[in-house]
Amino acid sequence: MMGPVLRATLMKAVIVLLCFGMVAPIVIVAIASFSGDGYLKFPPESFSSQWYARFLGDQRWRDAILNSVVIGLMTSVFSTLLGFLAAYALVRAELPWRRALMSLLLTPVIVPHVVTAVAMYFLSARMGLVGVRPWIAVAHSVVAMPVVLIILQSALRTVDPALERAAMVFGCTRWGVFRRVVVPLALPGVVSAALFSFLTSFDELVISLFLAGVRAETLPVRIWNSLLLEVEPTIAAVSTLLILVTMLALGADALLRRMRGEGGALPGK
Amino acid sequence: MSGGASVALEAVTKRYGTETVVAGVSLAIPAGEFFTLLGPSGSGKTTTLSMLAGFVIPDEGRVVMGGQDMTQVPPRGRGLGMVFQNYAIFPHLNVAENVAFPLTVKGAPKAEIQARVAEALAMVKLTGFEARYARQLSGGQQQRVALARAIVAHPRIVLMDEPLGALDKNLRFHMQVEIKEIQQRLGMTAIYVTHDQEEALTMSDRIAIMDGGRIAQMGPPREVYEKPDSRFVAAFLGEANLLDVTRDGALVRGPGGGAIEAGAGQGTTLFVRPEKVTVSAAAPSGGPNQLPGQVLHASFLGNVVRYAVDVGQGATVLADAVNGPGAVLHAPGAPVTLHWRAEDSRLLAA
Amino acid sequence: MPLSRLTAWLLLAPTLLLLVLVFLVPIGWFIGGSLAELGTLSEIWEEADAVLFSGAVGGAILNTNWIAALVTLLVLLIGYPMSYALSRAKGLVFTAILLCIVLPYFTSTIVRTYAWMVLLGRNGLINQILLGIGLINEPLQLMYNRTGVIIGMTYVLLPYMVLTLYAAMKAVDQRLLQAAEGMGASPATVFLKVFMPLTLHGVIAGVLITFILALGFFVTPALMGGPGDIMIAMLIEREVELTYNWPTAALMTIVLLTVTLILYAFYARISDQGEARR
């Protein structure tokens, strides 16, 4: 028989180990990216920024960064704008088939990205849209929309409808109510939604793989293409950049929530 | 000062699906009146107020303000002030910005906004709180902000939706007095919704009591209190004795068979307020409106002693005796005679 | 003042339009258009019969199910104690555990896969450690085979399971557990008879979502798998990218999509019930 104390300690050890296992790969890649050795080795025997120099010195990688950022920003603005209107309607209106509608709006997460990507490619190839950055952003918006809707719906639910009525009585048009009351109150949620939709686009691989062509290669696509050849160390540097962007986004989101005095609520719950 | 404007509802009806929430309500409120819509929850008073505010468009009938048809006019076009149930203070704006809101939306000049906000805040005694946010204010202070915001633009009509519902009793009494004072000073027409009958009686020039989407009775507080037209109104406003009586030709008889004379009315339910009933140890003298009975219990409320008296046939009458000089306390079980004046009682339809 | 139906639909219109025009229509068009190339219905049927029961596709379907099931099981076994710990943790410990789950969750799949490729390679950390402690004499082949696929996918999918389970566990009323303990139940009994049944809908939801996502997985098996680990999503990609064989891709898509949507319908049911319970 194990004593309860021993059991609790064992349980704790398992949890610590699992948590460590979750972050270790990411941390190791980040450390290895500063390796001064000729090939990727952990722990590195010497440190240098050679892989970053190689990464940033390469015109194709620099183009990929630019493409990723541009597409990410466009996705962020587009999906947050559309999502805000839709989330407002979903929160405020009594719609028939609301649950079914919500399930439909969330399907892009469920449908395998390969299927979505192939189908979009089928359409884009026929319309000459392959390699067009705004179009890739529109495609990314489809897969970013579920996250955006979930975040914005929960943000808008915290806005008391009585405040909107008050604004209307005191002279606001519908648009005025939006501008003066709804948007300012939902602003942390809006920024959150913008951050996560940017991240979704920035990290997206499969759809970009089909739609990017050679003109609009994004960072994940570039990683993919070089990984197919070899596990080259430059990618550790690129990966670290992507991890850094993720951390920045999560940090900014946490900061926003703290400012609003909310707990660490996560999208997807 | 701006003064008030008249308000009228003309046979206004609102349905949600198959349910009729407001059924053909008509009322006319002269300028400057303090008018209260009183009723239990679900009586249609909130929907009626929403139609006045413009949040809800009636299915039938007209909403008229200051002689103008406002039925289809959106809320922003009605020039109203309004105090909301939970104050609806904008959490992202401070006190001054909240109070200034109606003026800011209109695009009033900065100097004018400042002057008016200062004036409104002074009126609700909140000068010095300009930079605070709602979460830094007590319930009573939030109430004052809401009130200041409602009057800052000098509206001719102010709607108030249970504005004091969230306050404790003492504060509520204070605010009743202040609201009434401000309303009179500015001469605005006030339409006040509450389910609290005491509040309605204290503050109103006239009260409309609503029940099931209709106005059950409308009139000055004293009139509706003392001369209810129905059991519902009698029971809803304060304590009421409602006794089943029988008609014997022209004669009306009470529970013990004694003769009853009532001030008015034709029904078979006798209405009389507990404070109008006197309790004495003497035997009945043979006149009308005298009921013999036995004290069931006596509740000592301080200034008043409330008796519950069994008058036979399962009927109980409440009687409030003022605990004045030389007042006698009747012990439970003691035989007593109840009496009231004919003009203090009414016969209501069952 | 609720929004009127008309206003609501107008506000929803851009999003719905996006979903329809850039998502539903392309999928429909891709499937319909590709199949139309095959000719009549009976010809399509024949082709479907030939393609889906051919060795390669049949094998891939089998692989896909087998890998998805194994990964889901592993994810559940690892995820359950993690979510349990998360649902009981408070303050800094909670934040730490959450961060360990959320950081990978929001990191690009390809980066996460790459990280494991670094670890599992012939000269990777794992092999170095195993060689170092003398457990093995020569490096193990941990990648470009089934082992690599399973490890990589388990890692990538774990956060989905943990977050789903966490939501269900957080909703369990602590007082119920205390009541059971107060009535003399042992911790094991409380766990088995009270906690497990109360979180069962979360487990089912988590298993479904993990399995659904695993079925359509592409990046990780493509990079970490060997020739014997072809999954259906990879096959679809290859048919399109390499051979431009749209009809075959469409037939496989139908199979994958049908299974996915049926499972999703179950998932939606379960999570609705979970919500209603709260």
pLDDT digits (tens, 9 = 90+) for C136-173: 888 889 989 999 999 999 999 999 999 999 988 988 88
- C6 interface with B at CB cutoff 8 Å: no
pLDDT in tens, A161-208: 999 999 999 999 989 999 999 999 999 899 999 999 999 999 999 999
CA B237 to CA B226: how far, in whole Å?
A: 9
Instruction: Please give the C-alpha separations between residue A236 and each of A28, A44, A49, A91, A227, in angstroms, as whole numbers.
Output: 9, 13, 11, 43, 11
CA C17 to CA A34: how far, in whole Å?
A: 46
pLDDT computed for residue C48 by the predictor: 84
CA B103 to CA B153: how far, in whole Å?
A: 6
Q: Which of left, alpha, beta for C47 (phi over 0: left; psi -120 to 50: alpha)?
A: alpha
Min Cα–Cα distance to chain B from A89, Å: 17
- C3 interface with A at CB cutoff 8 Å: yes
Residue B317 CB partners (closer than 8 Å, separation 6+) = B241, B243, B274, B277, B291, B293, B308, B309, B311, B338
CA C17 to CA B127: how far, in whole Å?
A: 52
CA A197 to CA A143: how far, in whole Å?
A: 9
CA A257 to CA A249: how far, in whole Å?
A: 12
Q: Are strands B157-161 and B189-194 parallel, antiparallel or unpaired?
A: parallel
pLDDT computed for residue B166 by the predictor: 78
Mark A78-88 as b/e (b = at least 16 C-beta within 10 Å). Answer: bbbbbbbbbbb
- What is the span of the domain harbouring residue A228? 59-263
Q: Which two tokens stand for residue B223?
A: 């009139």
Which residues in chain A are closer than 8 Å to C11, comparing Cβ atoms? Answer: 85-86, 88-89
- Minimum CA–CA partner of A176 in chain B: B105
CA B226 to CA B236: how far, in whole Å?
A: 12
C31: in domain: no
Count CB pairs under 8 A between chains A and C.
Answer: 255
Residue B141 CB partners (closer than 8 Å, separation 6+) = B126, B129
Q: What is the mean pLDDT of each run of 10 residues along chain B (350 residues)?
A: 84 92 94 94 92 94 94 93 93 94 94 95 93 91 94 94 86 90 93 92 94 94 92 90 80 75 81 91 81 89 90 87 85 89 84
Q: What's the one-letter identity of residue C138?
A: E
Instruction: Please give the C-alpha separations between residue C90 and each of A15, C84, C86, C87, C169, in angstroms, as whole numbers.
Output: 14, 12, 8, 8, 14
Q: Which of left, alpha, beta for B196 (phi over 0: left; psi -120 to 50: alpha)?
A: beta
Nearest in space to A199 (alpha carbons), one of A131, A256, A143, A237: A143
Cβ within 8 Å, pair B82-A160: no
C43: in domain: no
CA A205 to CA C219: how far, in whole Å?
A: 8
Nearest in space to A161 (alpha carbons), one of B285, C45, B86: B86
CA A120 to CA A114: how far, in whole Å?
A: 10
Given a cut of 60, is residue C32 above it in pLDDT? Answer: yes
Given a cut of 70, is residue C274 above it in pLDDT? Answer: no
- B150 interface with C at CB cutoff 8 Å: no
C110: in domain: yes
pLDDT computed for residue B217 by the predictor: 94
CA B326 to chain centre: 35
- Minimum CA–CA partner of C3 in chain B: B55
- Is-contact A75 A200, C-beta < 8 A? yes
- Minimum CA–CA partner of A180 in chain B: B105
- A155 interface with B at CB cutoff 8 Å: no
Nearest in space to C63 (alpha carbons), one of C204, C233, C247, C208: C233
- A191 interface with B at CB cutoff 8 Å: no
Residue C144: helix, strand or coil by DSSP? coil
Q: Are strands B246-248 and B264-265 parallel, antiparallel or unpaired?
A: unpaired
pLDDT computed for residue C275 by the predictor: 63
Please tell me what DSSP assigns to residue B348.
E
Nearest in space to C55 (alpha carbons), one of C67, C46, C45, C63: C63
Please tell me what DSSP assigns to residue A181.
I
Q: Are strands B60-65 and B68-69 parallel, antiparallel or unpaired?
A: antiparallel
Q: Which two tokens stand for residue B190?
A: 């006030």
CA C62 to CA C56: how far, in whole Å?
A: 10
Q: What is the CATH number of the domain that holds C140?
A: 1.10.3720.10
CB atoms within 10 A of CB C49: 11
- A172 interface with B at CB cutoff 8 Å: yes
β-bridge partners, C72? none
Length of chain B: 350
Cβ within 8 Å, pair A172-B90: no
Residue C238 CB partners (closer than 8 Å, separation 6+) = none
CB atoms within 10 A of CB B197: 19
Helix (H) or strand (E) holding B345: strand B345-348
- Is-contact B1 B182, C-beta < 8 A? no
Residue C5 CB partners (closer than 8 Å, separation 6+) = A93, A95
Q: How many domains does chain C have?
A: 1
Min Cα–Cα distance to chain A from B236, Å: 29
Instruction: Please give the C-alpha separations between residue B109 and each of A179, A181, B146, C186, in angstroms, as whole numbers.
Output: 20, 21, 22, 72
Cβ within 8 Å, pair A246-C163: no
Given a cut of 50, is residue C217 above it in pLDDT? Answer: yes
- What is the span of the domain harbouring residue C149? 51-277
CA C232 to CA A228: how far, in whole Å?
A: 19
pLDDT computed for residue B63 by the predictor: 96
Min Cα–Cα distance to chain A from C197, Å: 20
pLDDT computed for residue A265 by the predictor: 40
DSSP B201-241: HHH-SEEEEEETTEEEEEE-HHHHHHS-SSHHHHHHSS--E
Q: What is the CATH number of the domain that holds A236?
A: 1.10.3720.10
Length of chain C: 278
CB atoms within 10 A of CB C247: 20
Mean pLDDT, rounded, for A147-174? 93
- Is-contact B193 B37, C-beta < 8 A? yes
Mean pLDDT, rounded, for C187-202? 87
C9: in domain: no
Cβ within 8 Å, pair A162-B85: yes
A13: in domain: no
CA angle A195, A199, A205 (to 5 degrees): 160
A117: in domain: yes
Lowest mean pLDDT among A6-20, B89-103, C19-33, C60-74: A6-20
Which residues in chain A are closer than 8 Å to B85, comparing Cβ atoms? Answer: 162
Residue B347 CB partners (closer than 8 Å, separation 6+) = B245, B252, B262, B264, B265, B266, B267, B268, B269, B270, B271
C11: in domain: no
CA B42 to CA C49: how far, in whole Å?
A: 64
What percent of chain C has pLDDT above 70?
97
pLDDT computed for residue C193 by the predictor: 86
| Full set of structural domains in chain B with CATH | 7-232 (3.40.50.300), 242-348 (2.40.50.100)
Given a cut of 50, is residue A269 above it in pLDDT? Answer: no
C35: in domain: no
- Minimum CA–CA partner of A123 in chain C: C26
CA atoms within 13 Å, Cβ hemisphere of C15: 29
Lowest mean pLDDT among A40-44, C31-35, C214-218, C242-246: A40-44
C219: in domain: yes
Cβ within 8 Å, pair B53-A181: no
Q: Which of left, alpha, beta for B212 (phi over 0: left; psi -120 to 50: alpha)?
A: left
What's the predicted TM-score (pTM) here? 0.85
Cβ within 8 Å, pair A169-B86: no
Q: How many domains does chain A have?
A: 1
Say if residue A43 is preceded by a cis peptide, omega within 30 of 0. Answer: yes
Min Cα–Cα distance to chain B from A185, Å: 7
Mean pLDDT, rounded, for C206-219? 94
CB atoms within 10 A of CB C190: 18
Nearest in space to A170 (alpha carbons), one of B142, C252, B100: B100
A50: in domain: no
Cβ within 8 Å, pair A26-C257: no
Which residues in chain B are closer than 8 Å to A173, comparing Cβ atoms? Answer: 76
Q: Where are the alpha helices (DSSP H) in chain B?
A: 45-53, 95-106, 110-123, 139-151, 169-186, 197-203, 221-226, 231-236
Cβ within 8 Å, pair A173-B76: yes
Cβ within 8 Å, pair C8-A95: yes
pLDDT computed for residue A182 by the predictor: 94
CA B344 to CA B264: how far, in whole Å?
A: 9
C1: in domain: no
A122: in domain: yes
Count CB pairs under 8 A between chains A and B.
Answer: 58
Cβ within 8 Å, pair B76-A170: yes
